[in-house]
């Protein structure tokens, strides 16, 4: 498929990529979904919805040129990498650089890249994404960067210590119960991505900080309880549990809770500016 409207979507079977692919398809925009396994159920669901599937892997740069051939745009999801010592910054940057370079070589006209919200402190996963953003601006003339905050759908997640998900009617996190935390629905991120592709001249060179709401963890638990009819409580992780998550999430017991980089950044972002915000800047 080759068209002046074709958008390649990476991370298409994930949260942001999947929401964006569905939003573009609903608007009649041709979508090519970059997936590692074209037979996987999430990939097949996208094909049923009308997406063209193409196999590609960010750890296999030679697989990328064919995937991007003939594309007008690229939606690039952060190619996160994790290891025993936390976020794999070098691998993440290598993946992002390979994707950006392949897009530049293929003549892709507009790239929308989703990074991570700006915070006063170092947030887990921010270094690799910042380096990818810099490389993107060097290689692609027309690019838009989206920086969303924490996803609402994180409440559906589960981890070994029930971190950032709901297990047994309890939502657990490092955040203090009464400090606001900004959140956003991935469908809202998809709306901004679609807008950037529809109006590339307007959004070229712009960075958008995205947030949809700012509830305290206790308020969020109450809202989920009301919506579902199932009682949900919030419980802050203990120092030991937070430390077990590694330094990328919690720097250690002295910094736990409202003083951690993660919690401090979300609290500051939630207050400046108010919920429902979109902050934009160029460069």
Which residue in the block uniquely carries the two structure tokens 């794999």? 88
Judge whether 51 and 31 are in contact, CB under 8 Å: yes
Judge whether 115 and 130 are in contact, CB under 8 Å: yes
* Phi and psi at residue 154, to the nearest 5°: -60, -25
What are the tens digits of pLDDT across the range 207-247? 999 999 999 999 999 999 999 999 999 999 888 888 877 66
- All domains of the chain, ordered by start, with CATH? 7-151+183-212+275-282 (3.40.50.720)
pLDDT given at position 116: 87
Least confident of 32-41, 70-79, 94-103, 247-256: 247-256
**Contacts of residue 226, Cβ cutoff 8 Å, sequence gap at least 6:** none
What are the tens digits of pLDDT across the range 144-159? 999 999 999 988 875 5
What are the tens digits of pLDDT across the range 79-116? 776 665 656 888 899 999 999 999 999 999 999 999 98
Which residue in the block uniquely carries the two structure tokens 């897009």? 103
Least confident of 23-32, 68-77, 94-103, 242-251: 242-251
Q: Please report, for the chain, how many H helices and E strands are present, in that order.
A: 10, 16
Six-digit token string for 14: 């994930």
Instruction: Tell me the pTM.
Output: 0.84
Q: What is the DSSP letter of 233?
A: E
Q: Is the pLDDT of residue 268 over 60?
A: no
Least confident of 19-33, 136-150, 243-257: 243-257
- If pLDDT is split at 50, 70 and 90, which confidence band does 168 have? confident
- Measured in residues, the chain has a length of 283
- 53 forms beta bridges with 33
């Amino acid at each position: 498929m080759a068209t002046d409207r074709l958008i390649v979507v990476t991370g298409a079977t994930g949260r942001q990529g999947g929401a964006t692919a569905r939003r573009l398809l609903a608007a009649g925009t041709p979508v090519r979904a970059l997936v590692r396994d074209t037979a996987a159920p999430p990939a097949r669901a996208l094909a049923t919805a009308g997406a063209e599937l193409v196999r590609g892997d960010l750890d296999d740069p030679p697989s990328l040129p064919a995937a991007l051939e003939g594309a007008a745009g690229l939606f690039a999801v952060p190619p996160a990498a994790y290891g025993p010592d936390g976020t794999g910054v070098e691998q993440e940057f290598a993946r992002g650089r390979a994707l950006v370079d392949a897009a530049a070589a293929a003549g892709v006209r507009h790239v929308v890249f989703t990074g991570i919200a700006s915070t006063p402190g170092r947030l887990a996963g921010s270094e690799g994404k910042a380096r990818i953003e810099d490389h993107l601006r060097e290689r692609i003339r027309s690019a838009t960067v989206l920086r969303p905050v924490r996803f609402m759908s994180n409440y559906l997640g589960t981890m070994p210590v029930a971190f950032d998900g709901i297990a047994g009617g309890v939502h657990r996190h490092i955040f203090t119960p009464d400090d606001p935390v900004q959140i956003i629905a991935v469908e809202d991120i998809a709306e901004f991505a679609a807008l950037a592709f529809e109006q590339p001249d307007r959004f070229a060179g712009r960075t958008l900080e995205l947030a949809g709401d700012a509830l305290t963890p206790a308020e969020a638990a109450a809202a989920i309880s009301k919506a579902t009819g199932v009682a949900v409580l919030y419980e802050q992780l203990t120092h030991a549990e937070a430390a077990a998550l590694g330094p990328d999430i919690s720097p250690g017991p002295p910094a736990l809770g409202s003083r951690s980089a993660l919690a401090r950044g979300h609290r500051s972002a939630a207050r400046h500016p108010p919920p429902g915000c979109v902050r934009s800047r160029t460069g």
